[in-house]
Amino acid sequence: MAVSVDDDGAVRVLRLNRPAKRNAFTLESMAALQERLDDGLADPEIRAFVLTGSEGTFCAGVDIAVLENATVAGTYGNLNALHRTVRTLAAGAKPVVAAVEGHAVGAGLSLALACDLVVAAEDATFRCAFPRLGLMADLGLLWSLPKRVGDGRARRMLLLDEPVRGDEAAGIGLADYPAAPGEALPAAMDVARRLAEQPPMAVAFTKAMLAGGHQSLDAILRHEASDQALLHGTADFREGVTAFTERRDPSFTGR
């Protein structure tokens, strides 16, 4: 199974599972990942995802066998298919935490940074790798990487293929939480459980706004007015207010 699924309460763990290839993906395995994401998005019991890799590494990018047979027309079509998964991770209604052990390289780095939050083992390695193949970054990395590390550091990674170790990643914004070697998944689960307790509609609206990129202030304020008005009509909003006045933790249901 190219992508395995495990549920822990309201958190669904999606594990890239091609260890012989360091979890490098094919079009078929990415289609499987998209299907697992779609299933989780449609399941009201699932409130957050964790994306990770099997046997101590996250993802080595696209399987080189896919690239060896690439054509101009084929690549255009393939990327448009893969972009659906990038959009789902970045702008889908439910939050996604990447748990990175080992390597997040090339398009594997793109997948990690398309997630909302990144937990990185201290001995993990983040690397673009695209220049070694005569390519530019893809799967949204030119959007996500500068947002995380700033333009200057992004250029060093994108143009010179400078690697970043996990013990440095959190300090520069490439990751959000550091973890001891071998502990990225448990740490990511802790984060995902916290996310699963948040109001689902508010999370979905926030993700959609953040994925909009550098919108103008006027555009953000227009979206804010309509989305916030809708949230004020939800049961979760009433629960939040009641819990605040009763000095207890809220219990959100997504209604």
Mean pLDDT of 206-212: 90
Rounded Cα distance between 137 and 187, Å, is 28
pLDDT band with cut points at 50, 70 and 90 for residue 213? low
Rounded Cα distance between 240 and 249, Å, is 8
Q: What is the pLDDT of residue 231?
A: 82
69 in Cβ contact with 25 (< 8 Å): no
- What is the enclosing helix (H) or strand (E) of 54? none
200-245: CATH architecture: Orthogonal Bundle (1.10)
- What is the enclosing helix (H) or strand (E) of 53? strand 48-53
Q: What is the pLDDT of residue 223?
A: 76
Crossing angle between the packed helical segments 200-211 and 217-231, to the nearest 10 degrees: 170
pLDDT in tens, 126-180: 999 999 888 999 999 999 999 999 999 999 999 999 999 999 999 999 999 999 9
Q: Which two tokens stand for residue 171?
A: 């300090």
Q: What percent of the chain has pLDDT over 90?
A: 75
C-alpha atoms less than 13 angstroms from C-alpha of 137 in its C-beta half-sphere: 25
Mark residue 2 as left, alpha or beta (left: phi above 0; alpha: psi -120 to 50; beta: remaining): alpha
3-196: CATH architecture: Alpha-Beta Complex (3.90)
List all residues 6 or more positions away from 222 whose beta carbon is below 8 Å from its beta carbon: none
pTM over 0.85: yes
Domain boundaries along the sequence of the chain = 3-196, 200-245
Domains 3-196 and 200-245 agree in fold: no
Rounded Cα distance between 244 and 252, Å, is 13
